[in-house]
Amino acid sequence: MQDHLERVILVDENDQVLLDGPKLETHEDGLLHRAFSVFVFNTAGELLIQKRAACKYHSAGKWANSCCGHPRPDEETQSAAERRLTEEIGLHVPLRYGFKSRYIAMLDNHMIENEIPYLYFGVSDALPVLNPDEVQDIAYVGLEELSQKITANPDSFSAWLIHYMDSHAKRLRSWRDRLLVAQP
């Protein structure tokens, strides 16, 4: 679905649904909305990150976590995360809910991210199949190395990935380790 037709779930500070609104206007006006972020690790413990396509309406060409987006009205957040993971990078990965976060960030093109994202985690060594309308490149990187890269060149990374690495690095490592121990 095209961005100008997408609708997002508007929420209050307690993540209670208020109504839905147009995705672009929600970001232009900085309205609080529900989102999700997916972190897929390979069995070596490296995080799959994606470089957003140059045509994206904000944060184009910046590195972000494996997948992110917004549930549609009346769509479960985990279902939305699994849907977008398939749409963006062609992966079907069982995801586990980790935790919620909260952040506000001023973006390019006069956009404002004001979100309560649900973070989901999974493990896969499958080869991603990139949707060129969404993603221009991928890489696998260790969390410690990613932190160093963000420190050295923050303008190359999305505001939300910087937020997760700054505010939740310990929890991200914990989820990585928990998932890897559970692997056969």
How does residue 3 score in pLDDT terms, banded at 50, 70 and 90?
low
How does residue 1 score in pLDDT terms, banded at 50, 70 and 90?
very low
Domain housing 54: 7-179
pLDDT in tens, 5-15: 789 999 999 99
Residue 99 neighbours by CB under 8 Å, 6+ apart? 118, 119, 168, 171
Residue 22 belongs to domain with CATH number: 3.90.79.10
What CA–CA distance (Å, rounded) separates 123 from 28? 34
Whether 55 is catalytic is: no
For residue 1, being part of any structural domain is answered with no
Q: How many domains does the chain have?
A: 1
Per-residue pLDDT, 2: 56
For residue 184, being part of any structural domain is answered with no
What CA–CA distance (Å, rounded) separates 77 from 69? 10
From the list 68, 82, 88, 113, the catalytic residue is 68
For residue 120, being part of any structural domain is answered with yes
pTM higher than the cut 0.85: yes
For residue 87, being part of any structural domain is answered with yes
From the list 82, 88, 113, 115, the catalytic residue is 115
What CA–CA distance (Å, rounded) separates 153 from 184? 37
**29: Cα separation from own chain's centroid:** 20
Mean pLDDT of the chain: 95
For residue 106, being part of any structural domain is answered with yes
The DSSP bridge partners found for residue 50 are 64, 138
What b/e sequence results for 157-167 when a residue is b if at least 16 CB atoms lie within 10 Å of its CB, and e otherwise? bbbbbbbbbee
- What does the DSSP 8-state code read for residue 32? -
For residue 94, being part of any structural domain is answered with yes
pLDDT in tens, 73-90: 999 999 999 999 999 999
Whether 115 is catalytic is: yes
What CA–CA distance (Å, rounded) separates 161 from 90? 21
